[in-house]
């Protein structure tokens, strides 16, 4: 396999999510998708694959960049038509292999895997409650709390949706069960998540730049508060959360996202360019050159210079 070239410097941003449902090369697509999202997390990378009901989940994850964690041998072992992948930047929990995602569990609901971008504000409360009920945590990441909630027995008809209602904060999630691939975005729409399609397969990614690398078609963004469920019958959406005033993280436009991604229907590079123009209009400077602070400042510097 020809590996993409990587740079020497690795700024820390946020986690990257990528998922595939219904493609024979799910692991390879996820590898390239994660590479396109490498800017969102450089500490660890992981992929979980499945062939559906009756088959075991296969997982490989380790510390390092995507091309360091995965080679041809690792990808060939990850058989399956479904996959979720994750690149991690630790916002909660230590930067160790035990906190590398996706997390996988075998529970009363069957096998489940989860990948998370965001932070929970009620993590300590939920962890204490779950530990008192007998849950044993293997990591220090708040993402594992979500997996424990999903994995618990369905008391009083508890569903995946009602388990998700218990978490608060910023979260974009990919959840893979034996039958479904589920995409979740918190009701504030804090972190991005998008849906695409390739050769009849559904693709999910934190940013649309990941679709471009594998030549997938961008369909739409996952809406704030939406739970998108993909199975053999197609797509269906649920909105189990109390609606909230949108509160998208502006730093995605400023710094986190790649400039060739589309977020909120707008090209990130164009937003940064316009920010530079607006800065020049409000605070003009008599100078010969404009120098950005690499790399997210490049487009803003161009906009400032053009204005």
Structure tokens, 98: 């035990």
> How large is the average pLDDT for residues 105-125?
92
**Which H or E element spans position 150?**
helix 143-151
Q: Which range has the worst mean pLDDT, 4-8, 12-16, 54-58, 156-160?
A: 4-8
Cα distance from N-terminal residue to C-terminal residue, the chain: 44
- What pLDDT does 297 receive? 93
- What pLDDT does 11 receive? 36
Catalytic residue among 15, 107, 209, 249: 15
- What pLDDT does 306 receive? 93
Share above pLDDT 90 across residues of the chain, in percent, rounded to a whole number? 80
Asked whether the predicted pLDDT for residue 2 surpasses 80, the reply is no
Using a cut of 0.75, tell me whether the model's pTM lies above it: yes
Asked whether the predicted pLDDT for residue 157 surpasses 80, the reply is no
Q: Which fold has domain 16-248?
A: 3.60.20
Asked whether the predicted pLDDT for residue 158 surpasses 70, the reply is no
Residue-wise pLDDT for 257-268, tens only, equals 999 999 999 999
- What pLDDT does 26 receive? 98
Distance (Å, whole) CA 83 – CA 46: 10
> How large is the average pLDDT for residues 241-268?
95
Binned at pLDDT 50, 70 and 90, residue 109 comes out as: confident
- What pLDDT does 155 receive? 53
Asked whether the predicted pLDDT for residue 94 surpasses 90, the reply is no
Q: 159 or 88: which carries more pLDDT confidence?
A: 88
107 an active-site residue?
A: no
> How large is the average pLDDT for residues 201-229?
98
Domain ranges of the chain: 16-248, 265-306
DSSP3 helix / strand / coil % (the chain, rounded to 5): 30, 30, 45
Single out the residue of 235, 178, 203 nearest to residue 52, CA to CA. 178
Distance (Å, whole) CA 75 – CA 94: 27
Highest mean pLDDT among 5-9, 172-176, 294-298: 172-176
Residue-wise pLDDT for 139-149, tens only, equals 888 889 999 99
Average pLDDT, the chain: 91
């Amino acid at each position: 396999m020809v590996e993409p070239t990587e740079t020497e410097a690795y700024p820390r941003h946020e986690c990257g999510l990528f998922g595939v449902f219904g493609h024979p090369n799910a692991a390879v697509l996820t590898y390239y998708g994660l590479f396109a999202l490498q800017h969102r997390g450089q500490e660890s990378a992981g992929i979980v694959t499945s062939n559906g009901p009756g088959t075991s989940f296969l997982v490989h994850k380790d510390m390092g960049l995507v091309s360091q964690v995965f080679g041809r041998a690792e990808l060939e072992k990850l058989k399956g038509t479904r996959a979720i992948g994750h690149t991690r930047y630790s916002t909660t929990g230590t930067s160790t292999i035990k906190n590398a995602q996706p997390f996988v569990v075998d529970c009363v609901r069957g096998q489940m895997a989860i990948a998370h971008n965001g932070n929970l504000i009620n993590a300590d409360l939920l962890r204490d409650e779950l530990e008192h009920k007998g849950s044993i945590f293997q990591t220090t990441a708040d993402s594992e709390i979500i997996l424990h909630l999903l994995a618990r027995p369905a008391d009083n008809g508890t569903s995946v949706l009602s388990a998700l209602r218990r978490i608060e904060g910023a979260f974009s999630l990919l959840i893979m069960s034996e039958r479904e691939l589920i995409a979740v975005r918190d009701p504030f729409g804090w972190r991005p998540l998008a849906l695409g399609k390739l050769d009849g397969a559904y693709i999910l990614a934190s940013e649309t730049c990941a679709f471009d690398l594998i030549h997938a078609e961008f369909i739409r963004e996952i809406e704030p508060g939406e739970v998108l469920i993909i199975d053999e019958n197609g797509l269906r959406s649920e909105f189990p959360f109390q609606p909230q005033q949108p509160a998208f993280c502006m730093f995605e436009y400023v710094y986190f996202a790649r400039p060739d991604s589309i977020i909120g229907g707008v090209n990130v590079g164009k937003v940064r360019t316009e920010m530079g123009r607006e800065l020049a209009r409000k605070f003009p400077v008599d100078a010969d050159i404009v120098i950005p602070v690499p790399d997210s400042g490049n487009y803003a510097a161009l906009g400032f210079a053009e204005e």
